[in-house]
Amino acid sequence: MKPNRRPANPCFSSGPCAKRPGWSPSVLEGALAGRSHRSPVGLARLVEVIERSRTILGIPTDWRVGIVAGSDTGAIEIAMWSLLGARGVDMLAWENFGEGWVTDVEQLNLPDVRVLRAPYGRLPDLSEVDPARDVVFTWNGTTSGVRVPNGDWIAADRKGLAICDATSAVFAMRLPWDKLDVAASTGSLRARRRAS
């Protein structure tokens, strides 16, 4: 359904957004600008951000959380380039980010890629996703505003991995962590270990 309200702030967008209320340059005091992430203070800050993210998002303790270079794009590409290829993969595309992941996976020259597309702003038929295959999908289409309704379509006993671009979802809605194997959001990658 098309929303009938617009954001109160006209600067809302999927690109650079307005600063939060009360923001000023003073919030950057104590920022580690120019410090290596390998320095003791840089490493401590990374650990703090990772643990705070785990708590705020309710990420289960059996998940590994990391911060990677390249924003969400880098995180999803790390997952795809590292994890895909052991089985067939279903790619879901209904907006520009999903289409971008399809373009990226084509570079891997995998032997068995199936693309499930839908027109911009509509979801593909999620019942067509094969639980024996890996699946790569965007939870919430940032530019289209269309999201998967829930994780019910992801089989609990799946053999394939569920790799999710969760950038526009992770801080906006609850995710079914038990149905995801990898979730990426801007600058971070989360993955869990499964028995299979």
Q: For 149-179, how does the pLDDT look when each residue is reduced to its tens digit (9 = 90+)? A: 999 999 999 999 999 998 878 878 888 999 9
Least confident of 51-60, 73-82, 169-178, 185-194: 185-194
Say what the pLDDT of residue 160 is.
Answer: 96
The span from the CA of 96 to the CA of 158, in Å, is 27
Say what the pLDDT of residue 161 is.
Answer: 96
Say what the pLDDT of residue 14 is.
Answer: 59
Percent above pLDDT 90 for the chain: 43
pLDDT category of residue 34 using cuts at 50, 70 and 90: confident
Say what the pLDDT of residue 74 is.
Answer: 81
Q: Which two tokens stand for residue 95?
A: 């907006």
Say what the pLDDT of residue 112 is.
Answer: 97
Least confident of 104-113, 133-142, 165-174, 186-195: 186-195
Q: Crossing angle of helices 71-83/96-106, nearest 10°?
A: 40
Whether the CB-CB separation of 95 and 140 falls below 8 Å is answered with no
139 pLDDT more than 50: yes
Q: How many residues does the chain have?
A: 196
Select the more confidently predicted residue: 144 or 146: 146
Statement: the pTM of the whole predicted model exceeds 0.85: no
Say what the pLDDT of residue 18 is.
Answer: 75
> Who's near 26: CB < 8 A, 6+ residues apart?
none
Least confident of 116-120, 122-126, 189-193: 189-193
pLDDT category of residue 196 using cuts at 50, 70 and 90: very low
For tokens 């990677």, name the residue. 68
Q: Which two tokens stand for residue 60?
A: 């289960």
Say what the pLDDT of residue 58 is.
Answer: 85
pLDDT category of residue 188 using cuts at 50, 70 and 90: low
